[in-house]
Copies of this chain bind each other. A is one copy, B any other.
Amino acid sequence: MTFKSQAVTLHPIGRVEREEGGRGLSPENLSARPARILLDPSLTDGLMGLETGSDIVVLYHLHLSTGYELHVHPRGDPDRPLRGVFATRSPRRPNPIGMTTARIRRIEGNVLEVVGLDALDGSPVLDVKPHSSFFDSPYTG
């Protein structure tokens, strides 16, 4: 099986801006601080139907992440037992895509003001989707 030969190329649709850079803050602390998503202005029409209070899933490139190991200490804490990288939310992973559900506080043109987003300043945004209890909650069949 040579999955790795079929590369997938994505083009960011925007980027995250926030006052503090964000490095060194826990995901909880970073999420609590407001951030902005600046969408490529040519894509602004794609926001129709989103509004203040909408819950969105933001996919973004963990652009400062470098390399990965298959076994990691959760949160980089050596006191936590090693786990497989796919059993953690470590930013250092084979495909460094971050994913967080955030809430829209305000939309102005191509700019989304959000809270609940743990992406660092400058993170390239790959997708915005509406949060869906069907797709995004544990499957109950």
Type the 1/0 row for A4-39, where 1 means its CB is closer than 8 Å to any CB of B: 101111111111000000000001100110000010
Please state if A89 and B48 are interface contacts (CB–CB under 8 Å).
no
Which B residues touch A45, using CB under 8 A? 70-71, 84
Which B residues touch A59, using CB under 8 A? 59, 95, 97, 99
In angstroms, Cα B61 to Cα A6, docked, is 11
Which B residues touch A28, using CB under 8 A? 134
Say yes or no for A66: interface residue by CB 8 A criterion.
no
CB contact under 8 A between A50 and B86, given known A40-B4, A94-B43: yes
- Number of A residues with CB within 8 Å of any CB on chain B: 70
Picked from B4, B93, B103, B118, the residue with its CB within 8 Å of the CB of A12 is B4
Which B residues touch A103, using CB under 8 A? 138-139, 141
A136 shortest CB reach to chain B, Å:
6
CB contact under 8 A between A3 and B85, given known A70-B45, A131-B138: no
Please state if A10 and B12 are interface contacts (CB–CB under 8 Å).
no
Residues of chain A in range 93-123 having any CB-CB distance to chain B below 8 Å: 93-95, 97, 99-103, 115-116, 118
Q: Which 9 A-B pairs have the closest CB atoms?
A: A116-B139, A49-B87, A48-B84, A49-B83, A45-B70, A55-B138, A46-B84, A86-B128, A46-B70
Which B residues touch A61, using CB under 8 A? 8
Please state if A47 and B135 are interface contacts (CB–CB under 8 Å).
no
